[in-house]
Structure 1
């Protein structure tokens, strides 16, 4: 009998330990104190309310079976708003999940030497941003994203989030540099909608999703990101709803409705664009680069479904402001009620005089 009770007590304590600690916080200071001691399986629960001026970081490591969870007390009831001059939440650890937070009406103000974003996953591994809402957030400088995945991390995920009514910004960016790239990012089951055209010169800097930033000099870097099962509704930020500027990525089963923009292979090579649906809007898929596979997509009611573009160089080695589409597979796509189905040779005879830096990009004429 004594042995039985000892075993029962041990099992009870093991059961309790398996759940980890819960830290209830309501201030930036309380959050930082919890983040400094948090262990695998622990949770930080942010009390319902409106918050401004936060800038916190977590550099801790959970495990696959015991992730660290940062969550709202009630989904959608923890609201960050106001001016932002540093990243509100930065993750630099592994197996951390952010859940149920809302960012409403934040004004991101560029500050020298600071990462001014809402959420940044920097060199993070196996971290997840899920069930969060980003609405009516703005920036004061062109090409500023509100969510960034950067550094030499891998296997991070953004899923089941809602981006709506954000203005003048890039919403979700996977950063690629000459020395750093986050690998195997998964962006899935998110909704992007009601994004108005940017006011910046050149109508540039309003992508919903951007994978890589320098299509010419860094397009050959492989990031192996997957963007799948997302919805893009009335996304009019700029001509590129999704901008691919690195190699080896996959775009699968996304839905585009009445968007003033396209899914664009602006740079990079060997990407898969499969089973996406385009219903209305100004375009479907625009292609530069080599060895892309474009299969099983559906297009209806567009001016042009698929555009295979001219370039100033050809192949993976030459440097050109645009790389001509070549060695691509276009197969088993369904095109209906489009003015042009497949255009081979987009931007023919375009005049690019004075439109790019010829010292940086020694391109010959298109």
Structure 2
């Protein structure tokens, strides 16, 4: 009898939870604010088909793993945000929130403008959204930011196409906060033209960290996997790693004017990626990286291990010499140089960075050291391994 009552109570609980989940159709910022306090796990906020401007929503609701709170388009591709953006359009700071199926097109971002920010959020997702021909009016402005002391947030299945003068996805790392275990997966980044900024910076598709000199030892442990980067020419760094403990796995790069760059940080894994054509493969500064099982075809210099101004994880240097890295079982074909050990030798950075903020030597004169080069395969490569 007691067992039957327990089972009945369980079914009643499940049934009542299903009944309590609601769909809230909205077509304005105010309509969302009217229902935000009512949201419970399993609810959906349905943005009606249409074109929208001048929204700024802060969403701090809490779903569950089994019942996330969903903010979605009525019909994917039919909900479009555009126009001037001075604040985050969507700022998610709760738990188990999912935003999906929304288009952002021809948005103009100021210095404080962001399309989506996951801020001190946990287990939140941005899924199947499109970001097309959006333009930043301030240098280093990203479309999507993951920031604060949250964890396990995901950007997945999104298209970033023909965006201008911007970063696409940024994992923000400060002295006091940074997100852990971010996953950037199954997205497409494509057709990104050169930035207009005078120094040519600020056009990364993915940037993990912003200050590699002073904050490169921070360990966000981000994973970037199964993404496609095609005709991404905005700057020299298609992906810019400026922190430690990250993974870059099974990504595909085609005809990009730029590289996957370990600009700073340590102990990252770069494995099972494919590079086809373009100007660059993998560029390495820092200590303890594993570069294994990558396929690199049709690139002049496939892998570059760089000189630095300092070495190890404790010394301060604008660039850290590549050391204690493993470069193993990579397949390199149709290249002039397969693996270059010692690029930018004796480069002089006098006057090119703030030596008060960064108490670093200015000469890039410390050669790569203690790196393991083994088991790599070369085909139609003029010089397989070159040391300078």
TM-score normalised by structure 2 residue count: 0.90
How many residue pairs get matched?
A: 357
2:345 and 2:196 mapped to 1: Cα distance?
28
CA shift, 1:361, in A, is 1.5
Q: Is 1:138–1:167's contact at 8 Å kept on the other side of the alignment?
A: yes
Q: 1:40 and 2:37 equivalent? A: no
CA shift, 1:36, in A, is 2.4
1:106 and 1:212 mapped to 2: Cα distance?
24
The 5-angstrom pairing of residues 260-271 of structure 1 reads 260-271=257-268
1:10 and 1:144 mapped to 2: Cα distance?
49
Indicate the residue corresponding to 1:289 in structure 2: 286
Q: Is 1:34–1:44's contact at 8 Å kept on the other side of the alignment?
A: no
Indicate the residue corresponding to 2:239 in structure 1: 242
Indicate the residue corresponding to 1:17 in structure 2: 17
Q: 1:117 and 2:114 equivalent? A: yes
Cα RMSD for the two superposed structures: 1.6
1:36 and 1:129 mapped to 2: Cα distance?
22
1:9–1:267 CA distance, 2 compared to 1 (3 A):
closer
1:177 and 1:352 mapped to 2: Cα distance?
25
Aligned residue among 219, 233, 243 for 1:222 = 219
1:50–1:16 CA distance, 2 compared to 1 (3 A):
farther
Provide Cα deviations, 1:289-341, integer angstroms capped at 9, x if missing partner: 00000000000000110000000000000000000000000000000001110
CA shift, 1:15, in A, is 2.8
Indicate the residue corresponding to 2:197 in structure 1: 200
Partner SS for 2:339: strand
The 5-angstrom pairing of residues 248-263 of structure 1 reads 248-263=245-260
Unmatched tracts of structure 2, length 5 or more:
365-388
The 5-angstrom pairing of residues 53-68 of structure 1 reads 53-68=54-69
Provide Cα deviations, 1:194-217, integer angstroms capped at 9, x if missing partner: 000000011000000000000010
Aligned residue among 198, 208, 211 for 1:211 = 208
2:222 and 2:205 mapped to 1: Cα distance?
15
Indicate the residue corresponding to 2:71 in structure 1: 70
Unmatched tracts of structure 1, length 5 or more:
none
TM-score normalised by structure 1 residue count: 0.95
